[in-house]
Amino acid sequence: MAELTLEQRVARLEAHNDICKLMAEYLLVADQGYDPDGITAMFIEESSWEGDDFGRHIGRQAIWDFFDSLSGALVFAAHFVTNPIITFTADDRARGAWRLLEPATVNSGGTLESSLLVATYDNEFVKIGDQWMFQSVHVHVNFFEPISKGWAETAKS
């Protein structure tokens, strides 16, 4: 494989920053109540969102429906992501992985529970025009448990 030119390397660095910014904006919208319009605006039409314990949602409308349903169940969430690894498969396509730590307040049948989610994001991105967008989001859940219960029995790698 040929070595990238300086211009290509700079473009990749800018794309890396743009993808990290898109991910941060997605997490901010999630932290502010999971506005389905705000979230789905970041996805291409032929996209998917999948979470081990949250189901698979194909297409913007299904993703919108899913996030609309979260507003009553997840009363509070603070998404903290670390360790970004972004790889490019083409100039307009990339894959990104992050580790997630999310304290949350879950409405469990009218009872509020303090919970903790630990997971990994494995996302695919595509550049449409000058804008990076989500093609797919996959959340691999290690555990999502009430803090009072703990996670020693349920955590998986």
8 Å CB contact between 140 and 122 = yes
Whether pTM > 0.85 for this model: the answer is: yes
- What is the distance between the alpha carbons of residues 105 and 146, in angstroms, rounded to a whole number? 9
Q: Report pLDDT digits (tens) over 7-33.
A: 999 999 999 999 999 999 999 999 999
Q: Tell me the per-residue pLDDT of 69-89, one tens digit each, with 9 for 90 and over.
A: 987 889 999 999 999 999 999
Tokens read off for 14: 């800018």
